[in-house]
Amino acid sequence: MVDVKEFHQRWCIADGHADSLMWNRDLCARSEEGHVDFPRLKEAGMKLQCFTIVTRGFPFIGGFPVFAAWRGWPREARASEWTRALWQIERMDAFCQASGDAVRVTTTGAALEDNLAHGRLSAVLGIEGGHAIEGRVERLAELHRRGVRFMGLTHLSNNDLGGSSFPMMGNRGLTPLGHEVMEEMARLGLSVDVAHASERTLEDLLAHPTVRFFCSHTGVRAAGGGWRNLTDEALRRIADRGGVVGIIFAPVYLGGDSVDDVVRHIEHAVDVMGEGGVGLGSDYDGMVPLPKGMRDVTDLHLLTAALLRRHPESWVERVMGGNFRRFFQETLGG
């Protein structure tokens, strides 16, 4: 009988998206709340976890400051989108300091490999929505200095950089400021996360000759599910540029609520992109449920077991983290 959890301890299990920082939980303490904290990530065998920084909520609610107050954020942290971003970065730094060197914010490919060799979790930081810089392109360098290594230009609504994939947003393209931001990201070595880009904004991003891009969390349109899923053409173009697409676990984007629905989207993406282009993009702690039978990250082995019933170990290992390991080795910098 295959010991799936043993594979998790041996492989570089990696996930492209967790919104845990916005909930203001102590990530060093095991919790019954939410999907992710450092103890549960360790139990699951996770070696690389992308943590995204959220600064704005749903367009038709606009209640992120209310949410943050409910979660106990200090008043000064809630003051603006920029202060919200910096506070979450500082919180992650503090959690890593308190982790007993079990977790490090990881900013280079060499550090990622060192963490793997020494059993540490690599936390890779990204910004979910370029509105966080409040129109000031020079702030990208500050984010890079503080350890951020990727950013999505848009999130749940259009902003001053470009168009969101959220319904009724008009499918807008990149603005002149968005093009300027993309150029600066390419210069700094910040990867672009295309997860919430409208089709026109995605086209503008994919047309850039040098910027590195990936998709931290999405479904694939041809396998069913929601409005924001990627087309086969987008999958091919991301793969052609060495990017990885993380497959989301949220049933609303899968067209079903079982682990087998996640498998269906993964398999279609691999059919289109090849074995090197697909990873996990759970959307842990992202205000969406997980498939039936999965309570939190410690149940990730259920997905691994489902994939191993259908595919060779080497295939599954790449999807479960080998591809994101390769991508971040290439893109985090020296």
pLDDT in tens, 106-139: 999 999 999 999 999 999 999 999 999 999 999 9
Annotate 222-254 with DSSP letters as a single string.
Answer: GG---TTPBPHHHHHHHHHTT--EEEP--HHHH
Q: What is the mean pLDDT of residues 241-256?
A: 96
- Backbone φ and ψ of 314, nearest 5°: -65, -35
What pLDDT score does 147 carry? 98
Q: At what angle do helices 176-188 and 199-206 cross, to 10 degrees?
A: 40
Instruction: Quick: pLDDT tens for 183-224.
Output: 999 999 999 999 999 999 999 999 999 999 999 999 999 998
Q: In angstroms, rounded to a whole number, what is the distance separating the alpha carbons of residues 177 and 222?
A: 33
Task: Give me the domain span that covers residue 62.
Answer: 4-329
Max distance between CA atoms of the chain, in angstroms, equals 57
What pLDDT score does 282 carry? 98
CATH of the domain at 143: 3.20.20.140
Residues contacting residue 324 through CB under 8 Å, at least 6 positions apart: 12, 14, 15, 16, 48, 244, 246, 279, 280
What pLDDT score does 157 carry? 83
Instruction: Quick: pLDDT tens for 46-93.
Output: 999 999 999 987 665 568 888 999 999 999 999 999 999 999 999 999
In a domain, 27, yes or no: yes
Q: In angstroms, rounded to a whole number, what is the distance separating the alpha carbons of residues 113 and 272?
A: 29
Neighbours of 82 (CB within 10 A): 17
Direct distance between the N- and C-terminal alpha carbons of the chain, in angstroms, rounded to an integer: 41
In a domain, 233, yes or no: yes
Q: In angstroms, rounded to a whole number, what is the distance separating the alpha carbons of residues 57 and 196?
A: 13
Q: What is the total residue count of the chain?
A: 334
Q: In angstroms, rounded to a whole number, what is the distance separating the alpha carbons of residues 106 and 50?
A: 10
In a domain, 97, yes or no: yes
In a domain, 82, yes or no: yes
In a domain, 265, yes or no: yes
The 8-class DSSP code of residue 78 comes to G
Burial 214-238 (b: 16+ CB within 10 A, else e): bbbbbbbbbbbbbebbbebebbebb
Instruction: Quick: pLDDT tens for 251-308.
Output: 999 999 999 999 999 999 999 999 999 999 999 999 899 999 999 999 999 999 999 9
- Number of domains forming the structure of the chain: 1
Q: In angstroms, rounded to a whole number, what is the distance separating the alpha carbons of residues 282 and 249?
A: 5
Q: What is the mean pLDDT of residues 142-167?
A: 92
In a domain, 62, yes or no: yes
What pLDDT score does 61 carry? 54
What pLDDT score does 117 carry? 97
What pLDDT score does 1 carry? 47
Q: In angstroms, rounded to a whole number, what is the distance separating the alpha carbons of residues 184 and 138?
A: 9
